[in-house]
Amino acid sequence: MDKYVSIHLDPSSAKPLYLQICDGVADLIEKGKLPYGEKLPSIRQMASFFNVNAVTVVNAYKQLEAQGYVEARVGSGTYVSFAANVKDFDEFTTADDAAPLPREARSVLESAALPRRFDFAGASISPEYFPVKDFKDVVNEVLDRDGGYALEYQESSGYHPLRESIADYMKTQHDLLVPFEEVQIVSGAQQGIDILAKAFLNYGDVVYVEAPTYPGAVNAFRSRGAHIVEIEMEGDGIDLEDLEKKLAKNKPKLLYTMPVFQNPTGNSYSMKKKQELIALAERHGFYIIEDDHISDLYYRQKPTMLKAIDDADRVFYIKSFSKLFLPGLRLAFLWVPKAYSDKIALAKYSSDISSSGLFQRALDLFLRKGLWPKHLRRLRKVFYEKWQKTHDALAEQMPGELKYNRPEGGHFFWLQLPRGFYSMNLYQVAMKKGVFIMPGNLFYMSQRPSEGFRLSFAQISARDIDEGIQKLSESIKLFLQNNYTIIQGPNDRPLL
Ligand SMILES: Cc1ncc(COP(=O)(O)O)c(C=O)c1O
């Protein structure tokens, strides 16, 4: 218990004792005094050491877990989590595309000896595909038409004509009848997730997420003090057996999912799993957040959204205009059941009053002029060619021990190294050859070591794909042959 003597509790402070213990332990972890994998003392030991009630320590440990510092292992105890010690990767953990490369990778990039760069990490499409000319025309038209009115505050729920044109777009393109009153404009899907978290979660509420998942969502839930539970993701959607087991123990308020071309795996749910998920939400009384980040980029059949089969009104649907349009506009929309529209509009108001009026008007005009479907047709064509190139290069060049999927849309492949070979280590080897991938641990709540990694062809140009995959394949062969182990973790698990 020596390490804990530096924590001094002040019973007269307004800060509750459990938060004082939580902050003290978090401080020890941040300073590296409690390394990854170290087991925290038992509840009884801690309670007697600090002379507090056992419930106080239980609450402190729960808070540490919600903030990602520790992970509870059933029947074993509470351990310092991997995420808590991986500072170089902090920049990945919100919007993973906003800062695609961690500090350490950037310093390698800046070095003169750098080989050519092959970016399979970035997850937003490269600016060369942005419809800049069409966008400039609509912005100019809006300013000529509306003048200063375009730059006033807007209604919190959004610019009325844009809400209508989105409802119209959902009807014509997706066959979905969305009452325009149920469309809430938000400043990006990240804000949409945050607003739902703010409106629905209280401290200690349970949220289920897919494992692996998009870390920006986990951060939003954690910031509300939610207790996050991971459910394994399979090739055809969430593992329903795992889900039902966990539902029997600990019911969630919300479940966050990306049913189509999931980030990071690219996998989509089967229709059967979508139906079962809705039925489970109804039976157990939880709500689902459906994050539709990229369903429009399909190469075969148009995918069916979860919201399309949501007869029970259990789904909050979010659609972003970042992934396939212009991320800098910060525009997305929520489709919320009418019963919650006011609550959500209020949460939006207290976040940023309203999203940009100029950009909402420009997007409205872009949709009304039919430029959005035209833009999507072009993207589908270009990205299908890149998909095909990546797919063929993987089939030709990857060593047989490597497994990977073949999503029918989006721009991710999920590759799986043999058991015990962690992608965080491969990341280091590939980076030295100028190849950047996204190691799988970044997509787990505890950032636990993972054999999987995400390969995105969003940023790389079509002509570089073959050479990039060849370099990646060389890195993988080198990595597997040399069994790279840079630092040993607990239980002899290789880490960084
Ligand atoms: C799955 C997913 N959802 C939401 C977001 C955030 O999107 P936006 O730019 O619309 O806030 C991202 C960005 O990386 C994402 O990958």
Q: How far apart are CA 251 and CA 253, in angstroms?
A: 7
In a domain, 385, yes or no: yes
Domain harbouring 124, CATH code: 3.90.1150.10
Residues 6+ apart with CB under 8 A from 364: 159, 161, 162, 165
Evaluate if residue 226 carries a pLDDT over 90: yes
* Residue 167 in tokens: 């409802």
Whole-number Cα distances in Å, 99 to 366, 428, 438, 439: 28, 18, 12, 15
| 54-66 and 43-50 helices, crossing angle to 10° | 120
Q: What is the pLDDT of residues 394-413, one digit of tens each?
A: 999 999 999 999 999 999 99
Q: Residue 382 belongs to what domain range? A: 87-128+374-492
User: CB of 468 within 8 A of CB of 435?
Assistant: yes
Average pLDDT value for residue range 329-344: 93
Q: How confident is the model at residue 84 (pLDDT cuts 50, 70, 90)?
A: low
Instruction: Report the separation in Å between the CA atom of 324 and the middle of ligand 1, taken as the mean of its atom positions.
Output: 11
Amino acid (one-letter) located at 424: M
CA angle 426, 430, 434 (to 5 degrees): 160
Percent of the chain with pLDDT over 90: 75
Do both 386 and 268 map to the same domain?
no
In a domain, 308, yes or no: yes
Do both 449 and 470 map to the same domain?
yes
Domain harbouring 36, CATH code: 1.10.10.10
In a domain, 466, yes or no: yes
Q: Is the CB of 407 under 6 A from ligand 1?
A: no
In a domain, 51, yes or no: yes
Q: What is the atom index within ligand 1 of the atom nearest the CA of 332?
A: 10
Domain boundary residue, one of 329, 353, 368: 368
1 vs 194, more confident: 194
In a domain, 143, yes or no: no
Pocket test for ligand 1, best of 190, 289, 411 (most atoms within 8 A of CB): 190
What pLDDT, on the 0 to 100 scale, is given for residue 420?
87
Pocket test for ligand 1, best of 291, 317, 326, 355 (most atoms within 8 A of CB): 291
Average pLDDT value for residue range 362-386: 96
Q: What is the pLDDT of residues 260-294, one digit of tens each?
A: 999 999 999 999 999 999 999 999 999 999 999 99
Q: Is the pTM of this model over 0.75?
A: yes
Count of domains forming the chain:
3
Do both 81 and 220 map to the same domain?
no
Domain boundary residue, one of 85, 109, 140: 85
